[in-house]
């Protein structure tokens, strides 16, 4: 192989793997890349170490230091073990482990459990695939000090990952995330990883935990009488070959829904996701079979969850009887409006209640909360920050619901992560509630716009793969910081929030102020006409994302299409100005 066109440090690292205590299959795969001169593949596999980030690990499976495999996950687990043991001296430390339907998830989960047990840590190991939110619930229910979910969420089939959780059932936040990262970085050799299991410390869990989880969720139902009257509501559901298959149908039944139509082609757990291009309920293509089934049976509601069942996409009928997909902002607004109204009717709003959303999620939620005199907290992108607020305010204020535009929502405080299981149940309840009143979810959304203004959001994600892509993304963000736009969509930029520097700049007053949130590589532009544009690199995918939000008053239902077209044009103009249309 010619080494003239490849960084010699990559060759050196590949050779370290070939000479180290790695298994024969791993060495054979590396040799094949070398012998077949697969320079791009070899570079991407070894140009860096797969980072244990603030949420854990996610990446493409395969051999190499920048790939998800037994050894990179083993190093992550060993570092997590070291941190948990040093943080809990003299205590019995325990963790819970679950996995989704992805290829190798069950294998990686078992290997993770073995490393924990080899370090003397008690492991509660789910007997089969379970959703991410049930793991979060189990950590809290069992009093564990941590947990791990083997999943890459909605990423393509080539990916897998590892979400690390703390004792509150939430993904790691400062200072724990940084402390674990430091421990992982000290694992310089696989010889430092304890792979030999202590089987006596691995305890299988399953049905009893399911029952506790379901009971906790069922208590959250509010409109039981409406559900009873609308128990035949036609609901089409698909788990898109993931864990939703084991949890969503049972909870819908417990809530009282008796007419759930399953998309049978997607009910089988399959990490190849054979019926979709991309197992992401944010994408219309992933719901194509569900929509086909919905048209066949004339359904009222369509729901589909991602592989680890923490996100849900929905479709409803519009005023012409056609199925339309609701985006994550719209579903979150409807869900939170329903919860706050139900609490208000029940006389449960006492002034200590709150909801939480991320800074890139619709600001219509802020207006809804304000109208009910309920606090709305805004936090960084990533549900772990919502979970952090819940943990900080536990016992002081009452959490009602939270959500983010990326189709993740939580109702109730049983978990500290987004939960598509309870979200499916509560969204079905929202549909039953409105149908019982002679309305629909679509009409309820228009009602929200009539009351608070029409908020229209659009997300554009640019994919930039590999080392060069990562560098291009960083250069793009640096360009926006060094030379920010003066106008967007024909409206003057009046404020910029740079969450990396922690500074907010107001161009009307010339004042600068501090942002009371952890530092993050996010930029937000606020325009004179109320538009908000956010730019951030994805923390889990090779993408840079642009979140655009525009709004305008809506005077009547008849004006909806006209105002919608005007806002769509404004979004297009903003994206053109950003150079990402």
Q: Which residues are catalytic?
A: 153
Q: Which one, of 266, 306, 548, lies nearest residue 409 by Cα?
A: 306
Q: What Cα–Cα distance (Å) separates residue 267 from each residue in 3, 23, 240, 304, 325?
A: 48, 35, 7, 11, 21
What is 468-530 written as a DSSP string? HHHHHHHHHHHHHHHS--SEETTEEEEEEEETTTTEEEETTT--EEE--S---S-EEEEETTS
> Whole-angstrom Cα distance, residue 317 to residue 335?
17
**CB neighbour list of residue 288: distance below 8 Å, 6 or more residues apart:** 276
Helix (H, G, I), strand (E, B) or coil at 558: helix
Peptide bond between residue 175 and the one before it cis (omega within 30 degrees of 0): yes
Q: Which one, of 408, 396, 397, lies nearest residue 355 by Cα?
A: 397
Q: Give the pair of three-digit tokens for residue 271.
A: 């990490």
> Whole-angstrom Cα distance, residue 72 to residue 13?
14
Q: Which one, of 548, 542, 365, lies nearest residue 459 by Cα?
A: 548
Q: Which one, of 150, 152, 121, 123, lies nearest residue 139 by Cα?
A: 123
Q: What is the sign, positive or negative, of the torsion defined by CA atoms of 289, 293, 294, 299?
A: negative
> Whole-angstrom Cα distance, residue 550 to residue 566?
10
**CB neighbour list of residue 425: distance below 8 Å, 6 or more residues apart:** 217, 220, 221, 248, 251, 252, 254, 255
What secondary structure, in 3-state letters, does 390-449 show? HHHHCCCCEEEEEEECCCEEEECCCCCCCCHHHHHHHHHHHHHHHHHCCCCHHHHHHHHH
List the 323-326 sheet strands across, edge first: 260-262, 235-238, 301-305, 312-317, 323-326
Do 57 and 76 touch, CB atoms closer than 8 A?
yes
Cα 418 from chain centre: 7
Q: Which helix (H) or strand (E) holds 8?
A: helix 8-19
Q: Which one, of 543, 548, 553, lies nearest residue 571 by Cα?
A: 548
Q: Which one, of 81, 78, 77, 57, lies nearest residue 68 by Cα?
A: 57
Count Cβ atoms below 10 Å from residue 389 Cβ, excluding itself.
Answer: 20
């Amino acid at each position: 192989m010619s080494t003239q066109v490849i960084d010699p440090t990559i060759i050196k690292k590949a050779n370290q793997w070939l000479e180290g205590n790695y298994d024969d299959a791993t060495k054979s795969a590396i040799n094949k890349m070398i012998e077949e001169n697969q320079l791009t593949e070899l570079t991407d596999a070894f140009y860096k170490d797969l980072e244990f980030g603030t949420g854990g690990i996610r990446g493409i499976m395969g051999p190499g230091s920048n790939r998800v495999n037994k050894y990179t996950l083993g190093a992550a687990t060993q570092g997590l073990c070291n941190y948990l043991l040093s943080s809990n001296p003299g205590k019995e430390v325990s963790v819970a482990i679950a996995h989704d339907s992805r290829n190798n998830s069950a294998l990686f989960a078992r290997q993770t459990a073995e490393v924990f047990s080899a370090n003397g840590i008690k492991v509660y190991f789910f007997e089969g695939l379970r959703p991410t939110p049930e793991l979060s619930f189990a950590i809290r229910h069992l009093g564990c000090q941590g947990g791990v979910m083997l999943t890459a969420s909605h990423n393509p089939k080539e990916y897998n990952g590892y979400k690390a959780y703390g004792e509150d059932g939430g993904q790691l936040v400062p200072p724990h995330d940084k402390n674990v990262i430091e421990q992982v970085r000290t694992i310089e050799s696989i010889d430092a990883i304890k792979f030999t299991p202590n089987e006596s410390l691995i305890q299988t869990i399953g049905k009893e935990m399911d029952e506790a989880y379901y009971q906790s969720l069922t208590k959250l139902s509010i409109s039981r009488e409406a559900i009873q009257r609308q128990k035949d509501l036609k609901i089409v559901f698909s788990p898109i070959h993931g864990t939703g298959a084991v949890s969503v149908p049972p909870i819908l039944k417990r809530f009282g829904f008796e007419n759930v139509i399953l998309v049978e082609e997607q009910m089988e757990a399959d990490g190849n996701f054979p019926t979709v291009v991309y197992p992401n309920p944010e994408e219309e293509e992933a719901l194509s079979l569900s929509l086909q089934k919905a048209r066949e049976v004339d359904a009222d509601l369509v729901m589909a969850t991602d592989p680890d069942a923490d996100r849900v996409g929905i479709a409803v009928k519009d005023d012409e009887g056609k199925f339309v997909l609701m985006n994550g902002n719209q579903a979150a607004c409807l869900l939170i409006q329903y919860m706050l109204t139900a609490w208000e009717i029940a006389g449960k709003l006492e002034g200590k209640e709150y909801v939480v959303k991320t800074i890139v999620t619709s600001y219509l939620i802020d207006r809804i909360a304000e109208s009910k005199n309920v606090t709305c907290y805004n936090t960084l992108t990533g549900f772990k920050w919502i979970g952090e607020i819940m943990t900080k305010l536990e016992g002081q204020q009452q959490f009602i619901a939270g959500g983010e535009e990326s189709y993740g929502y939580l109702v109730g405080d049983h978990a500290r992560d987004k939960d598509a299981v309870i979200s499916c149940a509560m969204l079905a309840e929202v549909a039953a509630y409105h149908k019982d009143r002679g309305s629909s979810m679509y009409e309820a959304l228009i009602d929200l716009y009539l009351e608070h203004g029409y908020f229209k959001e659009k997300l554009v994600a640019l994919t930039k793969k590999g080392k060069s892509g990562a560098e291009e993304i960083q250069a793009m963000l640096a360009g926006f910081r060094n030379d920010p736009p003066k106008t967007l969509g024909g409206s003057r930029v009046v404020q910029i929030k740079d969450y990396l520097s922690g500074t907010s700049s107001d161009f009307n007053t010339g004042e600068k102020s501090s942002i009371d949130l952890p530092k993050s590589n996010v930029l937000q532009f606020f325009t004179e006409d109320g538009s908000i544009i956010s730019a951030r690199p994805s923390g889990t995918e090779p993408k840079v994302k642009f979140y655009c939000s525009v709004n305008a008053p809506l005077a009547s239902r008849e004006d909806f299409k006209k105002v919608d077209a005007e806002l769509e044009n404004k979004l297009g103009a903003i994206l053109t100005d950003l150079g990402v249309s």
